Amino acid sequence: MDLRQLRYLDAVASARSFTAAALDLHVAQSALSQQVAKLERELGVELLRRTTRRVEVTEAGQVVLERARRAMAEADAIREDLDALRGLVRGSLRIGGVPPVSGLHPAKLIAEFAAQHPGVDLTIREDVAARLIDELGKGRLDLVMALIDPTTLPPTLQGRRLTDEELVLILAPDHPLARRRRIPHAALQGERLVAYGAGSALRAELERLVEQPQVIAEANELGTLQELVALGLGVTLMPSAVVASTPPTTLAVRPLHPRVRVPVSLLWRAHERPTPAAAAFRDHVIQATTIRS
């Protein structure tokens, strides 16, 4: 067996699909399938079970993957340590991100970092906070920016609180609540809600504010949520920076009373030395946030 075969196995197991894994790896699907099959023949076990809809990892596959991921991490660390000795920042960096918030624009920070470190291969994941944090804990992401307080993390993770963001209520301009300058929390009871999917920080905040929330639509795209609200389907919470420039004819944006603020944090795995690329990005974000705050 070789590292390439192990990387192929890991890619298919993570994507649960040969097609998706081949696209991620930029290789032909036939070559990918051949290498995984060769590895299975060499080990004498079935590692992946193919079904009509997806690929499942077998029990033997899980055993192999656990050791394979450690081996791949050590091989990557050798290159990264040597690059660090030469003062270079290379390798891969996998980041889980959040929407823009006041004083912090993740996409801009990532673009600035990429321009400064062209030798780093960047992968960016957008998803609800709970799934990103789970991926971080499993080693599938290096860093995550999330609307979460680092003190609430399990001991395997830690982070830095970068800033706080105010959440505001968005609603259709002709909604009865739009006549108010500020929206008391109690006024949200019984309102129809459009919300992010379960596991998102914004969904959790809605459920904290509203007893027995009546969620009639879910979406994980900011634009989709805003469009549904503008069409009068329901109301929702959103970071103030996201809707700061929204025309009042499209959406009504109202602060809550009392105001609601959530922390914006950069998260990483505890008790683990970051790769040079992850350490450099972490320093870049913290420095940029300090300067802009």
Whether 194 and 160 share a structural domain: yes
Whether 240 and 138 share a structural domain: yes
The pLDDT, as a whole number, for residue 293 is: 47
Domain count, the chain: 2
Of 266, 291, 289, which is closest to residue 279 (Cα–Cα)? Answer: 266
Whether 194 and 279 share a structural domain: yes
Last residue of a domain, one of 56, 82, 108: 82
Share the mean pLDDT of the chain. 89
Beta-strand pair 55-57/120-126? unpaired
Output the domain CATH number for residue 281. 3.40.190.290
- pLDDT bin (cut points 50, 70, 90) of residue 86 is low
pLDDT at 259 over 50: yes
- pLDDT bin (cut points 50, 70, 90) of residue 76 is confident
In angstroms, what CA-CA distances link 106 with 7, 71, 194? 29, 31, 25
Residue 124 β-bridge partners: 95
Query: 0.85 cut: is pTM over it?
Result: no
pLDDT at 36 over 70: yes
Whether 195 and 266 share a structural domain: yes
- pLDDT bin (cut points 50, 70, 90) of residue 235 is very high
d(CA 267, CA 274): 12
Q: Which domain holds residue 12?
A: 3-82
CA 92 to chain CA centroid, Å, is 16
The pLDDT, as a whole number, for residue 206 is: 92
DSSP designation for 171: E
